[in-house]
Amino acid sequence: MSKGSNPFSRSTQFIMVALVLTAGFLFVSIRLAVIQWIQYGKWHSLAKRQHERKISDHVERGTIYDRSGKIVSINVDVPSLYAVADEVENPQRTAQLLASHLTIPQDKLVKKLHRGKDFIWLARKINPDRLDQIKRLDLSGIGSLMESKRFYPKRALFGHIVGFVGMDNKGLEGIEHRYDDWLTGAPGEVVVVRDAYGKSIYPKGFNYIPPSRGKDIHLTLDETIQHITARELRIAVANARAKGGVAIVMEPTTGAILSMAVHPAFNPNAYDRYRPSEWRNKAITDMYEPGSTFKIVAASGALEENLVYPNQIINCEQGAYTVSGTVIHDHEPMGRVPFYDVIARSSNIGMVKVADRLGKGRLAAYAKAFGFGSKRGIDLTGESPGLLQDTAKWSKRSLASIAIGQEVGVTPLQMTVALSVIANGGWRVTPYVVQEGAETASFPARKRVISEKTAFAMTRMLKRVVSEKGTGGKAAIAGFSVAGKTGTAQKVDTQTGRYSRDGYVSSFVGFVPAQDPILTILVMIDEPEVGEFGGEVAAPAFSVIGREVLHYLKVPPTSHHGGPI
C-alpha cells in the first residue's frame, strides 16, 4: 500500500456513514416514540405545570335547615378583590386609592403589590357596594372574582349550635365544624396560562372551573321553639340580673333536641367581634354542681333496689343533721314526713338518709347509668364528660354530698338526658341535633337504667314537686300535668376553694305532660342576683316555654288545671 493511501474503499466508507446515520435515526425515532407514547403523561404534566397555573377557588358548602325546612345557614356570592402585580402601573397610587375604600392600611396594600407574585388576593369577600366604588376608579391590574360566603339569616338565634366558618369556608365551631366534611364540596379553580418568561397571561373571563356544592343537613331544632326558648331564657336572666343561663327542650323518647339556647348569645355573621369564650356552647361544654335536681339519682336507685317506698316515713330531724362532723341543713325545718314529701319539699337530710341505705357503690353505679361522668354522645364538638370521681377518691362526707348534688359536675345536657330517663319509662336515650343528611355518633339509641315501675313511682313524686306543697309550683302549666325537680346549688369560690355565700346556680328540669311526656325542658340560671331558689328563678321560665311549645305543637290539654292529676 502506497504512503498516504486510504485503507477503506469508497464503498466501505459509504456503508459506515449509512450505518451511523441509520443508527442515529433509529435512536431519535425510538426516543421520540418513547416521549410521545410511553412518557406522554409525564411530559404533558410537566408542560402544564410550566405553562399553566391553578388558583384554587373555595367550595360552596351545603345548606343547613331546621326541622321544618327553614334556612339556618346558607351561602351567598360576594366579590373578592385581586391584583395582577405585573399589570399594576403605579402600586403606590393604587394602594392609596384602594385604602380609602377598604379597611386595609395603605402600607399593607403596598407590601402586597410588591411581593413579586403575579396573582395577589387584596381583600376577600367584600361588600358589593365597595366593589362598585372601586370599579369606578378604573385601576389597571385590579379585578374581582365572586366567592361563596357563609350567611346566617337567623343571626344569633342558632349561634352556639350551628357555629360558623372561617375565611376559607372551613367549619370552626358547632355544626359547621362537626359536619365539615359533609358540608364541604370539591374546590373549584381558576386556570391561567404562563408565557415563555413565566408571566401569567389572564385571558378575559379566565378559565374558571366552578366548585361542586357540598351536601345539605336538616336539624332536629325548630326555629319557632328555639325562638320561644331563647326569648324566655333572656327574660329570666334579665329578671334575675344573672350572669347568664342555658335552656334546652328535648324529646324524651327520641333524644331529638328541639331547642338549645345559651345566654348571652352571639351572632355568627360577626363572630370575630366576640371573645372565643362567648362562642362556647355552655349547654354541653360547661359543668356546674346541680344541687337538688341530682336527687333523682339516689331516689330512683333506692326505689329500684326496694330500699325505700314512696309512703315510707323519713325523719328529717327538724332541719339539722350531722354527717362526718359537718352539719347538713334543710331550707325549711321538717320532722317525720313520707318519702314523697322528701322529694316534693326537697329535703337534703331525708335524701342523705335514703342514700346511706343505697351505699356509695350503688349510688355511683346509678349516677353513671343515668349518664353522669361521661359524654352523652351528642353530635356536636366540645362536649364535656362532667365530673364524677371514682368511689376510691370519695371522702367520708362524699356519699351525703353527692346524694344532694354536691361534689359532682354536670352539664345542662346531661341533666336533661338524666330526667328523660324517668320520662321515658326508665330508658336513657342519646341526644342528637341532626335528623337527616349525615351520620350521627355511634352511641346506643337506648339503654335501660331503671324499671318502668320505678320510673312511674318517680313520676308521681316529681308531680308533687309542681304543686302548692312542692318547691316547683311556679313551673305548673295550666291544662297539663308537670313532673320536675328544682335545684339550687352554691357555686365554689375559685379564690377560696369554698362554697360562695352569694354565688348560686338555680335550675328547674321537668317533663310534660307527666303521664305521656312529649317534652323535657331544662332551665338553668347562672348567678342570679334577684332570687335564689330554682323554684323562683328558673321554674317560671320553664312554665312559659312549656306552655307555648305545647300550643305550637298543637298538643291538647290533659286536665282542666295545672299540677298533679
SS3 of 502, please? strand
Residue 273 and residue 438: Cα distance in Å, rounded?
31
Beta-strand relationship, 200-201 and 188-194: antiparallel
SS3 of 242, please? coil
How many other CB atoms sit within 10 Å of the CB of residue 209? 15
Q: Where are the alpha helices (DSSP H) in 466-555?
A: 534-537, 539-552
The angle subtended at Cα 405 by Cα 485 and Cα 314, nearest 5°, is: 70
Residues with Cβ < 8 Å from 104, sequence gap 6 or more? 98, 122, 123
Residue 12 and residue 503: Cα distance in Å, rounded?
112
pLDDT of residue 511: 98
pLDDT of residue 126: 78
Q: Are 206 and 192 in contact (CB under 8 A)?
A: yes
Backbone angles phi, psi at 236, to 5 degrees: -65, -40
Q: Are 319 and 334 in contact (CB under 8 A)?
A: yes
Tally of helices (H runs) and strands (E runs) in the chain:
19, 21
Q: Are 418 and 522 in contact (CB under 8 A)?
A: no
Q: Could you tell me the end-to-end alpha-carbon distance of the chain, in angstroms, rounded to an integer?
A: 137
Residues with Cβ < 8 Å from 276, sequence gap 6 or more? none
User: What is 223-552's CATH topology?
Assistant: Beta-lactamase (3.40.710)
Amino acid at 67: R
E-strand ranges in 227-335 read 244-250, 257-263, 313-315, 320-323, 326-329
Q: Cis before residue 513, ω within 30 degrees of 0?
A: yes
Residues with Cβ < 8 Å from 134, sequence gap 6 or more? 81, 98, 101, 142
Amino acid at 285: T
pLDDT of residue 565: 38
Q: What is the pLDDT along the chain (565 residues), one digit of tens a residue?
A: 455 555 657 777 777 777 777 877 787 777 777 666 776 666 556 555 555 555 555 567 899 999 999 999 998 877 788 888 777 778 788 878 787 788 788 788 778 777 666 678 777 777 777 878 888 888 887 887 777 788 999 999 999 999 999 877 889 999 999 999 999 877 666 666 655 555 555 554 455 566 678 899 999 999 999 999 999 999 999 999 999 999 999 999 999 999 999 999 999 999 989 999 999 999 999 999 999 999 999 999 999 999 999 999 999 999 899 998 899 999 999 999 999 999 999 999 999 999 999 999 999 999 999 999 999 999 999 999 999 999 999 999 999 999 999 999 999 999 999 999 999 999 999 999 998 655 554 556 789 999 999 999 999 999 999 998 899 999 999 999 999 999 998 887 666 666 767 788 999 999 999 999 999 999 999 999 998 899 999 999 999 999 999 999 999 998 644 444 3
Considering just the CA atoms, what is the radius of gyration of the chain in Å? 35
Backbone angles phi, psi at 72, to 5 degrees: -105, -35
- What's the pTM value of the predicted model, to 2 decimals? 0.81
How many other CB atoms sit within 10 Å of the CB of residue 113? 22
Q: Cis before residue 268, ω within 30 degrees of 0?
A: no
DSSP state of 480: B
3-state secondary structure 183-230: HCCCCEEEEEEECCCCCEECCCCCEEECCCCCCCEEECCCHHHHHHHH
SS3 of 178, please? helix
- Beta bridge partner(s), residue 508: 486, 523
Query: Active-site positions?
Result: 292
Residue 9 and residue 507: Cα distance in Å, rounded?
115
pLDDT of residue 57: 57
What kind and span of H or E run contains 462?
helix 452-465
Burial class (CB in 10 A: 0-12, 13-18, 19+), 115: exposed
Residue 251 and residue 427: Cα distance in Å, rounded?
13
Spans of all domains in the chain: 223-552
* Of 249, 15, 269, 280, residue with least CA distance to 174: 280
Q: Are 482 and 475 in contact (CB under 8 A)?
A: yes
pLDDT of residue 431: 95
Half-sphere exposure of 100 (CA within 13 A, CB side): 8
The cell for 278 is: 362567648
Buried b (16+ CB within 10 A) or exposed e, 28-47: eeeeeeeeeeeeeeeeeeee
pLDDT of residue 7: 60
What kind and span of H or E run contains 19?
helix 10-33
Residue 484 and residue 342: Cα distance in Å, rounded?
14
Residue 241 and residue 24: Cα distance in Å, rounded?
94
